[in-house]
Amino acid sequence: MRTTRLAVAAALAAAVAAGCGSPEPAARQSGSPSAASTPVKLTYWTWAPNMDKIVAVWNQAHPDIQVTVNKQASGDEAAAKFLTAARAGNPPDLMQAEYQHLPSFVAADAVADLKAETEPIRGEFSEGLWGLVTLGTDSVYAVPQDSGPMMLFYRKDLFDKYGIAVPKTWQEYAEAARRVREADPKAYLGTFSSKDPGSFAGLAQQAGAQWWSISGEAWKVSIDDAATTKVADYWGDLVKEGVIDDMPYFTPEWNKALNDGRLLTWPSAVWAPGVLETNAPKAKGKWAVAPLPQWSAGENVTGFWGGSSTAVAAGSKHKEAAAKFAAWLNTDPQAVDLLVKEAAVYPAATKGAAALTGAPGYFSNQPGFWRQASAIAQTARGFTFGPNVSTAYSVFKDAFDKAVQAKAPFSTALRTVQDAVVADMRKAGFTLAQ
Amino acid sequence: MRSGERSSQTRAAASRHDTGRRGKAAPRGTVAPYLFLTPAVALFALFLALPIGYTVYLSLRRTKVSGLGLGRGARKEVFVGLDNYAAAVSDGELWAGWLRGLAYGAVVLSVMLGLALLFALLLDSARVRLARFSRIAIFLPYAVPGVVASLMWGFLYLPSTSPLPGVDFLAASTVLYSMANIAVWGGTGFNMLVLYTTLRAIPQSLYEAARIDGASELQIAVRVKIPILAPAIVLTTVFSIIATIQVFSEPTTLKPLTATISSTWSPLMKIYRDAFVTGDLYSAAATSIVVAGISLVLSFGFLRVVRNRAFGEA
């Protein structure tokens, strides 16, 4: 009597433990690779819109490998959820992984090495993007899907009204910021968001920052290097001077400022048209795009903000099938075309440029939008993310929040981030280069 | 008076029944009681003891990385004893979070329970009009989920969308009160209802007696109703203490809107950040145990202090 009760309790406990990650473990395990009659079943966690439609095309053509899309909340939450599921032993087979989270997935041994499977498609991607999925090692941890080269979005109508030229250097951007304050005391040229470390990382990349790097068998962390300090103090000084606002992006307040024409620029990434379309519908057709201002005149470089890849979970029972799907999704001409049209991503594959026809609706008055975007994308600098980006980003938000509030130097906040990241890596046991 | 009679009768009946049973049931009743206990014990073990045990287990461990931490076998779980606890207790952010939580709790407890008591007494007094409507109107915010309420208030607080543009509700000096306001708005109705229900259970004869003795409505409220309400007030206070220690959804929802709320604003937010943002389940487990311990001490400490006073000789 007692033993059966214990057995029931143990079975229940196991069921509870197994149930807390993904709801589909059973579906995944039911597929068997050896039997040709029963198709391999894969689950795919993604937050790209309309991905189920793209997957339906694959499922139609590949009856032996059936993929099920499991829609996720975007970004950080999905990353945390994936790591938890991987730790619990029931991850999805495929996962949309933002480039900055990939190293933490690799460090947690949660994603598979796809070196052999991706050999034939390597030539489809630029060196810079490929580096984001190899982390500078010999392994390949994901297939690049989309990228977010940064560019400057600006209110063409208001620039014309106030007689401001599109800034070519950050120096000119600062001067334009002062001009805007004089022309309209209620408006700002831009805002510094302490809540978006991804945006700051992109601006630092443009200046030549390299926050993490691998030298030999050790990590080198230099978040407070000269290039990043220069970027931090540039924005810190403008905020302190009061010529750049300090409201965070993606808040109702920010939406309102964009709609009312009280924010004249947004240094953002290629995916910005979608955001502007939803958040500032009133200003449609008034925005234009230009390359980011440069640190020295005559230069032509940019950084990445966002972008993601398709990774295969180390715990997947069908790695080969999953890798096949990941390669198809991100390099097959039909799939890339669908990614652009249905999921509205800026494809990572170089041949994706062919799929980019007609400007996004919000920029319908700029027929050359995609030509300009892909020209800018070519100028993006390479970057390596480290194994604890989420710690860095979390500390960044708190430290820069404080600096913005106290109008304190941003370089001090940057040092806080550097120290916290180094301490965190040391505590975990990573080998650090001095 | 009548209810007192009835309860003493039942008690007598029950004790008679008890003594009658005890003699016969004792020799054979060894399995049945355990059988009846099984569901409760099983549920307790599965959903309380087991998770707590697992949390304690996690809190004594940590992953150790070697080299670059990339590739297979670069990371393994090791036993670290009380290291995580030492780190949790020595982290200034946790205690700063407690201080913020205490200040927030002091505001919420005093204003919310004060209002709840006031409303309950007003609704219970004979002269109030529109009692049913007011009761529902005050209770209604409790039905609004915390996250929705926080978002709604967040919009009202943001300078450009606020109806009071001159005031910065999310500045460093005001954010605590703005957050307390959300909790008060949402929680007053529930606590009022608990107190009001207790008031309705008081026999009218007590008030009649007080009136015959010449007490005014105010005197009845202060001298008769509040002392009788004391146990209910203690109950709502303990619930509210626990709720303020666990404050999470309001600051988490407001956080993206302002630079004044950090990711470790309240103790639970720090636990969430450690577990799900920076991916350190082990530290989060240790901090959870510390927070649970402190909230146990606080709520039972409060109960102990007020027990004699509130529950009389019991």
Based on the structure, what is the number of domains in chain A?
2
Q: What is the pLDDT of residue A1?
A: 37
Chain B touched by A405 (CB under 8 Å): yes
Say whether both A406 and A264 belong to one domain: yes
Q: Is the dihedral of CA B118, B119, B120, B126 positive or negative?
A: positive
Query: pLDDT-derived band of residue B311, with 50, 70 and 90 as boundaries?
Result: low
- Given strand A287-290, what is the order of strands in its sheet? A265-269, A150-155, A287-290
- The domain of A55 spans 20-147+307-356
- Residue A70 phi/psi, 5-degree rounding, is -120, 110
Which of A211-220, B44-53, B59-68, B300-309 has the least mean pLDDT?
B300-309
Tell me the C-alpha distance between A141 and A160, whole Å. Answer: 47
Residues of A in contact with B65 (CB under 8 A): 107, 428-430
For residues A221 and A135, state if they share a domain.
no
**Do A242 and A349 fall into the same domain?**
no
Is A352 part of a structural domain of the chain?
A: yes
Q: Do A74 and A141 belong to one domain?
A: yes
Same domain, A179 and A125: no
A 70-109 residues with CB < 8 A to B: 76, 80, 83-84, 87, 103-104, 106-109
What distance, in Å, lies between the first and last C-alpha atoms of chain B?
19
CB contacts of A76 in chain B (<8 Å) are 277
Q: In terms of CA atoms, which chain A residue is nearest residue B275?
A: A80
Q: What is the pLDDT of residue B168?
A: 87
A232 and A169, same domain (yes or no): yes
Question: Helices then strands (H, E): number in chain B?
Answer: 14, 2
Same domain for A70 and A171, yes or no, is: no
Chain B positions touching A252 (Cβ under 8 A) are 154-155, 158, 160-161, 257
Specify whether A109 is located in the same domain as A239: no
Mutate to test the interface with A, among B257, B266, B269 (most CBs of A within 10 A): B257
What is the model's pTM?
0.84
Of B64, B71, B281, the CB nearest to A429: B64
**What angle is formed at CA A410 by the lines to CA A407 and CA A414, rounded to 5 degrees?**
145
8 Å CB contact of A84 and B256: no
Quote the pLDDT of residue A9: 44
Q: How far apart are CA A197 and CA A184, in angstroms?
A: 29
Q: Which residues pair with A111 in a beta bridge?
A: A313
Among residues B50, B71, B73, B52, the alpha carbon closest in space to that of B63 is found at B73
Q: Which of A84, A253, A397 is facing B158, going by the closest CB pair? A: A253
Cα separation of A360 and A285, whole Å? Answer: 10
Query: Of the ranges A319-323, B69-73, B222-226, B243-247, which is most confident?
Result: A319-323
The CATH homologous superfamily for domain B85-310 is MetI-like (1.10.3720.10)
Token pair listed for A127? 């060196």
Nearest residue on chain B to A220, alpha-carbon basis: B68
Under the banding of pLDDT at 50, 70 and 90, the label for residue A380 is confident
Together in a domain, A221 and A352: no
**pLDDT tens-place string over residues A381-418:** 888 899 999 899 999 999 999 999 999 999 999 999 99
Per domain, the residue ranges of chain B are 85-310
Q: A405 and B259: CB-CB below 8 Å?
A: yes
Which run of H or of E encompasses B61? Answer: strand B61-65
Query: Which residues in chain B touch residue A218, judged by CB atoms under 8 angstroms apart?
Result: 67-68
Please state the rounded mean pLDDT for residues B173-183: 94
Percent residues over pLDDT 70 in chain A: 91
Residue A171 near residue A244, CB atoms below 8 Å: no
Alpha helix (H) residue ranges in A221-263: 226-241, 252-259
Task: Give the tens place of pLDDT for each residue, A39-94.
Answer: 999 999 999 889 999 999 999 999 999 999 999 887 778 898 999 899 889 999 99
Contacts A400 to B, Cβ<8 Å = 259
B259 with A252: Cβ contact below 8 A: no
- Mean model confidence pLDDT for chain A: 88
Adjacent-strand bridge partners of A302: A380
Q: Which residues of A, range 128-157, sit inside 8 Å of B by Cβ?
A: 135, 137, 139
Looking at beta carbons, which residues of chain A come within 8 Å of B155?
A: 252
Residue A367 resides in a domain: no
Q: In this structure, how many other beta carbons lie within 10 angstroms of the beta carbon of residue A208?
A: 17
CB contact under 8 A, A429 and B277: no
Chain A residues whose beta carbon lies within 8 Å of the beta carbon of residue B281: 87
Can you tell me whether residue B90 is helix, strand or coil?
Answer: coil
Q: Could you tell me if residue A370 is inside a domain?
A: no
Q: Are residues A204 and A288 in the same domain?
A: yes
Q: Contact A188/A181 with Cβ under 8 angstroms? A: yes
Q: Are A53 and A91 within one domain?
A: yes
ipTM: 0.79
Return the CATH number at A33.
3.40.190.10
Amino acid B313: pLDDT: 46
Regarding whether A288 and A202 lie in a shared domain, the answer is yes
SS3 of residue B258 by DSSP:
coil
